[in-house]
Amino acid sequence: MTQEYDVVIIGAGPAGMTAATYASRANLSVLMIDKGIYGGQMNNTAEVENYPGFDSILGPDLAEKMYASSTQFGAEYTFAEVQDVIDQGKTKKIITDSGDYQAKVVVIASGAEHRHLNIPGEDGYSGRGVSYCAVCDGAFFKDEQVTVIGGGDSALEEGLYLANLAKEVTIVHRRNKLKASQIFQKRAAAADNVHFLWNKDTQEVIGDKEKVTAIKLRDNVNGEVSIYPTSGLFIYVGIYPNTKGLENLGILDDKGWVLTDENMQTAIPGIYAIGDVRKDSIRQIASATGDGAVAGKLLFDYIQSLSDQSVKA
């Protein structure tokens, strides 16, 4: 049997939970659907120091607090993987691997994933020296030596950000030529504390019981293996949106990011997108909650307009 809600939110990270708080507080019936535990990438963040209201808080602890807030007005949460979303005009059908739902509004808050190197030690030292976000974690490495893996715009942009904090930044690239735009290449070349290691594949993350101490590199030209000391490893080898099951809606760009206007609205009335899954997101916890607040307010107005249309009819 298809269950009906006013609002179905796909994803229960900071954006989705904020939207759930606003929508349920407005006395709308709300369901959050996520294929994993609520909190999203916050659960993989050791410490958060740039979220208002907390000097410092563990990522999982912040996730717990947000979840408590998001469900206090009756919003529900369930584990499921979305397989398809069908626009039926005034209602939307959400098909999952554990049942179907119908809603007046769908909010896409499914986030994005950083590509991993999939090497020994990477997952084990995540949050203990391995990071995918310089803005989030760079301050923990002030005056230390850090390494950035990658050769695109993100790797150089985040490397330059780290250069303002760290003693030295080494950018490791598996080729001898960068993919990054010329402006970032010039800025990185001009920075005194930014250096490059060319033609190197990262093979392993090495550390002690507490943190990263080095990485194992293999030279792609001569095959030589070396150990390179580092205090932190920032990995930028790509990021992809979690938009599986949304392909048929026609609201994605050619790379799978959801296109919205400044009000978080997609091209389909009644479907919003918030947080990291949006093409123009800056992918921070604070910006995700801001997106959720905007959508949470505007979707109430949209549902009210549906009611007004019904009365007039």
Mind telling me the catalytic residues? Answer: 133, 136-137
Nearest-angstrom CA–CA distance, 280 and 263:
12
DSSP structural state of residue 247: G
Which amino acid makes up residue 33?
I
Report the alpha-carbon distance of residue 179 to residue 49 in Å, rounded. Answer: 31
Contact at 8 Å (CB) between 270 and 263?
no
Burial 238-250 (b: 16+ CB within 10 A, else e): eeebbbebbeebe
Residue 53: CB atoms within 10 A of its CB come to 7
Instruction: Say if CB 138 and CB 132 are below 8 A apart.
Output: no
Terminal Cα distance for the chain, rounded: 29
Map residue 230 onto helix, strand or coil: coil
